[in-house]
C-alpha cells in the first residue's frame, strides 16, 4: 500500500471519493440491451451480429515483444486550436477533462486526479479502417471508473467525446463505454502519449475501429441521443457515412 500523502489526500478529497458510496455508473447497464433505434438497420444488424459472436469478450492482449516499433499516427497529429496550443505550450499542466451532461456529479479532472484512479495497462492492436494495424501498450483509467464518479442518470444512453481538434467527435453506447478494455489513456509504450497520438488523453476502445478512439479529449458528455451533436450520426467519420459501431 502506498502511503496516502497530503497531496494524494487533497486530490482524492477534491474528487469527492471519500465518504461517498459509489453506486450506479456502469453497474446498472443491461448487457442485453438491444441496438438503439437511432441506428440505421444495417448498423444495428452488424452490431447484433457482432454481439452474437463475441458478446462482452475481451480482445486479445499481446506481449511486450509484439509492440510495434512505431505507433503510426493518423488523422489529426498536431491540433492548431488556440486552446490546444496553450495547453501544449505548458506541458499540459493546466489540462482538465470535463465530464458532464446527464450526470449527477459533473467532473473537471486534472491528469494527476485521473492518475490516482486505479490504472490499467493493456497491449492491444489498433485497426484503422484504411487497412493497417499497429500494436501498442496503453496505460490509463477504465472509462467505467470515471463514469462511476460522475454517476450517469437513468436517461443517459451514450457517451459523447469532444476533442481539441475542433470538429472531431465520437460516441459510444454505455455497453462499450463500460467494457473493461475501454480506457482513457495517458501513456503509450511507458511514456506520456505523444501529441501525434492524442496527448494528453485519448480514448482506447480496442474492440472497435481506430476512428472510434478519439484523441485530444476535451469533454465527455452523457446524452440520451446523439442526433443533435455534429451531423447527428454519432461521430466525425460516421457523419461521412462510416459505421457507428465499427466492431473489428
Ligand atoms: N481527435 C481525433 N481523434 C482521432 C482522429 C482524429 O483525426 N482526431 N483520427 C482517428 C483515426 S481514423 C485513427 S486510425 C486513430 C489514429 O490514432 P493514432 O494517431 O494514435 O494512430 O485516431 C482516431 N482518433
Ligand atoms: Mo483510422
Predicted local distance difference test score (pLDDT) of residue 36: 36
How many domains does the chain contain in total? 1
Predicted local distance difference test score (pLDDT) of residue 21: 40
Q: Specify if 20 maps to a domain.
A: no
CA-nearest of 248, 81, 63, 108 to 163 is 81
Residue 185 CB–ligand 1 contact under 6 Å: no
Residue 209 CB–ligand 1 contact under 6 Å: no
Return the ligand number nearest the Cα of 134.
1
Which mutation among 70, 71, 75, 191 tests ligand 1's pocket best, with the greatest number of atoms within 8 A of CB?
Answer: 75
243 vs 223: CA distance, rounded Å? 19
2 vs 246: CA distance, rounded Å? 40
Predicted local distance difference test score (pLDDT) of residue 216: 98
Q: Are strands 97-101 and 217-223 parallel, antiparallel or unpaired?
A: parallel
14 vs 30: CA distance, rounded Å? 31
Q: Which residues contact 138 (CB under 8 A, 6 or more apart)?
A: 121, 122, 123, 124, 183, 185, 187, 188, 204
Predicted local distance difference test score (pLDDT) of residue 175: 96
Please name the residue whose Cα sits nearest to atom 23 of ligand 1: 211
Q: Which residue has the cell 490516482?
A: 116
Return the ligand number nearest the Cα of 129.
2
Q: Specify if 90 maps to a domain.
A: yes
List C-alpha distances in Å: 178 to 4, 107, 169.
Answer: 28, 18, 19
Q: Which residue has the cell 476533442?
A: 163
What is the signed CA dihedral for 213, 217, 222, 223, rounded to 10 degrees? -70
Instruction: Give 133 Cα–ligand 2 centroid separation in angstroms.
Output: 9
Predicted local distance difference test score (pLDDT) of residue 14: 62
Predicted local distance difference test score (pLDDT) of residue 60: 97
Q: Specify if 86 maps to a domain.
A: yes
Q: Specify if 122 maps to a domain.
A: yes
Q: Specify if 10 maps to a domain.
A: no
Q: Specify if 21 maps to a domain.
A: no
164 vs 216: CA distance, rounded Å? 5
Question: pTM of the entire structure?
Answer: 0.88
Structural domain span for residue 108: 59-236
Query: In this structure, which residues have their CB less than 5 angstroms from ion ligand 2?
Result: 128, 210-211
Residue 127 CB–ligand 1 contact under 6 Å: no
| Closest ligand 1 atom, residue 193 Cα | 20
Cell for 122? Answer: 493493456
Predicted local distance difference test score (pLDDT) of residue 4: 55
CATH number at residue 204: 3.90.420.10
Walking along the chain (248 residues) 10 residues at a time, the average pLDDT comes out as 58 53 58 36 59 76 98 98 98 98 98 98 98 98 98 98 97 97 98 98 98 98 98 98 97
Q: Is 75 exposed, middle or buried (0-12, 13-18, 19+ CB in 10 A)?
A: middle
Q: Specify if 43 maps to a domain.
A: no
| Closest ligand 1 atom, residue 198 Cα | 20
Please name the residue whose Cα sits nearest to atom 9 of ligand 1: 75
116 vs 129: CA distance, rounded Å? 34
Q: Specify if 241 maps to a domain.
A: no
Instruction: Give 40 Cα–ligand 2 centroid separation in angstroms.
Output: 22
Please name the residue whose Cα sits nearest to atom 8 of ligand 1: 76
Amino acid at each position: 500500500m502506498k502511503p496516502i500523502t497530503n497531496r494524494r489526500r487533497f486530490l482524492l478529497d477534491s474528487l469527492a471519493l471519500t465518504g461517498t458510496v459509489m453506486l450506479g455508473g456502469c453497474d446498472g447497464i443491461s448487457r442485453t440491451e438491444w441496438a438503439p433505434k437511432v441506428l440505421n438497420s444495417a448498423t444495428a444488424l452488424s452490431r447484433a451480429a457482432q454481439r452474437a459472436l463475441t458478446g462482452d469478450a475481451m480482445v486479445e492482449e499481446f506481449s511486450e515483444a509484439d509492440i510495434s516499433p512505431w505507433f503510426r499516427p493518423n488523422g489529426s497529429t498536431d491540433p492548431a486550436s488556440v486552446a490546444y496550443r496553450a495547453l501544449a505550450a505548458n506541458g499540459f499542466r493546466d489540462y482538465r477533462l470535463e465530464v458532464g451532461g446527464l450526470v449527477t456529479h459533473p467532473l473537471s479532472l486534472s491528469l494527476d486526479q485521473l492518475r490516482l484512479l486505479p490504472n490499467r495497462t493493456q497491449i492491444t492492436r489498433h485497426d484503422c479502417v484504411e487497412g493497417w494495424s499497429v500494436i501498442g501498450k496503453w496505460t490509463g483509467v477504465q472509462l467505467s471508473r470515471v463514469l462511476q464518479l460522475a454517476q450517469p442518470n437513468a436517461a443517459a444512453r451514450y457517451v459523447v467525446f469532444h476533442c481539441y481538434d475542433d470538429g472531431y467527435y465520437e460516441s459510444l453506447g454505455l455497453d462499450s463505454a463500460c467494457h473493461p478494455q475501454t480506457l482513457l489513456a495517458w501513456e503509450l509504450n511507458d511514456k506520456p502519449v505523444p501529441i501525434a497520438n492524442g496527448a494528453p488523453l485519448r480514448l482506447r476502445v480496442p474492440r472497435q475501429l481506430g476512428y472510434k478512439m478519439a484523441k485530444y479529449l476535451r469533454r465527455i458528455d452523457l446524452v440520451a441521443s446523439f442526433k443533435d451533436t455534429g451531423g447527428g450520426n454519432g461521430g466525425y467519420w460516421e457523419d461521412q457515412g462510416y459505421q457507428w459501431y465499427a466492431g473489428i
